[in-house]
Structure 1
Amino acid sequence: MGSYKYFEEYDEQVTEELKGNFSKILKGIGEDVTREGIVKTPERAAKAMQFLTSGHCEDPAEILRSAMFAEDYHDMVVIKDIELYSLCEHHILPFFGKAHIAYIPNGHIVGLSKIPRIVDVFARRLQVQERLTHDILECINDTLKPEGVAVVIEASHMCMMMRGVQKQNSVTTTSGFRGQFEKIETRTEFLKLISSSLS
């Protein structure tokens, strides 16, 4: 009977350093780091932290440039309900939700999968939702140079839900608009599209 194998590549030196730090944290909160359920936790946490912050090692603008195509299309392109998961830089607790993004091409379109990819790149950093919204907006605006770009993010924050005010049903919404989306009629069309079901 074969054994299960799962392979992920991590920097061994960084993993060992983080592993030691997580072990100290566990001891500091009174855990027995030799018990069966905890013994591998420092290594797992070290690898998880590297994955969850791996966006620092990627260039989101280059991701967009790798799939830009000349196209004479000047109507709104909307990608909505893009799942996102990030870590709040204040407490290193998760926040998660959805991003809704639109742009109006100005000579170039981009492969649709690249928009969610750059959401992941920026989300896989220690973040605040406001900066995450701004980073995505400016990356698309600066790289594609569209006639307009819009970003709306709706997210729930575990730092509000698990600790602090403990408001489990709270949702934070942030938005940013450039170019044509600064016009009320274009912005209204976008907001209507992301709030409606077309199915």
Structure 2
Amino acid sequence: MSATLPEHYREILLGLGENPDREGLQDTPKRAAKAMQYLCRGYAQTLEDVVNGALFASDNDEMIIVKDIELYSLCEHHLLPFIGKVHVAYVPTGKVLGLSKIARIVDMFARRLQIQENLTREIADAIEQVTQAAGVAVVIEAQHMCMMMRGVEKQNSTMNTSVMLGALRDSSRTRMEFLQLIGRSK
């Protein structure tokens, strides 16, 4: 843990007009620093470490989809959470990725200060890089606390982003198959 991060949180409490020495707040700067480091642990991870060699030879050339992966991230503009789910698909070309690695890739990028648009692209690019897939798709549906708790305070708003690469971008049939399988197309 950074030696100065708890001190910064103490200063934030003072700046808010709080007494960081009162009973309920005495350990808050340390706890907040530890929590922030946990929430931003993706900075300490690399794609190679996360995948850890879990790429396996396969003759499968049909679309693989992992849907409803939980997502927890922090908005880089307000440091407030956005939460939701991620749907990932890829069309393999001789190699498949270990199932849990897809969720770990999502987490690695989500556990950095982010905007959802960039997060969607980073996940898609990483899946493509690792698998050399013929096509990759990523859809994220998330609710942003910066929209819900402050500013316009819209409680039921959801942001949807998508990135389609290769066959999932070029083939409307393949793209529609993906969207139907994740339940986002009629």
Which TM-score tier does this pair reach, normalised by the shorter chain?
Answer: over 0.9
- Could you tell me which of 124, 128, 131 is aligned with 1:137? 124
Aligned residue in 2 for 1:28? 15
- What are the within-5 Å matches in structure 2 for residues 91-130 of structure 1? 91-130=78-117
- Could you tell me which of 138, 143, 152 is aligned with 1:165? 152
The one-letter amino acid paired with 1:125 is R
SS at match of 2:182: helix
Q: CA deviation at 1:61?
A: 4.1
Q: CA deviation at 1:179?
A: 1.1
SS at match of 2:151: coil
Aligned residue in 2 for 1:5? none
Q: d(CA) in 2 for partners of 1:101 and 1:61?
A: 19
Q: d(CA) in 2 for partners of 1:137 and 1:65?
A: 18
Structure 1 unpaired stretches of 5+: 1-10
Q: How many residues align structurally?
A: 183
**Residues 51-79 of structure 1 deviation map (CA, whole Å, 9 limit, x = unaligned):** 11110110124423520011111001000
Q: Aligned residues: percent identity?
A: 54
The one-letter amino acid paired with 1:159 is C
The one-letter amino acid paired with 2:74 is L
- Provide the TM-score with structure 1 as the length reference: 0.89
Range moving further from structure 2, 58-67 or 179-188: 58-67
Native 8 Å contact 1:61 1:139 kept in 2:
no
Aligned residue in 2 for 1:189? 177
Structure 2 unpaired stretches of 5+: none
The one-letter amino acid paired with 2:150 is R
Q: d(CA) in 1 for partners of 2:162 and 2:106?
A: 14
Q: d(CA) in 2 for partners of 1:163 and 1:127?
A: 18
Query: Segments of 4+ in structure 1 off by > 3 A?
Result: none
The one-letter amino acid paired with 1:165 is V
SS at match of 1:174: strand
Q: d(CA) in 1 for partners of 2:50 and 2:80?
A: 27
Aligned residue in 2 for 1:58? 45
Aligned residue in 2 for 1:49? 36
- Could you tell me which of 54, 61, 82 is aligned with 1:74? 61
The one-letter amino acid paired with 1:140 is I
The one-letter amino acid paired with 1:63 is V
Aligned residue in 2 for 1:6? none
Q: d(CA) in 2 for partners of 1:95 and 1:61?
A: 26
Aligned residue in 2 for 1:153? 140
Aligned residue in 2 for 1:19? 6
SS at match of 1:113: helix
Aligned residue in 2 for 1:4? none
Native 8 Å contact 1:68 1:111 kept in 2:
yes
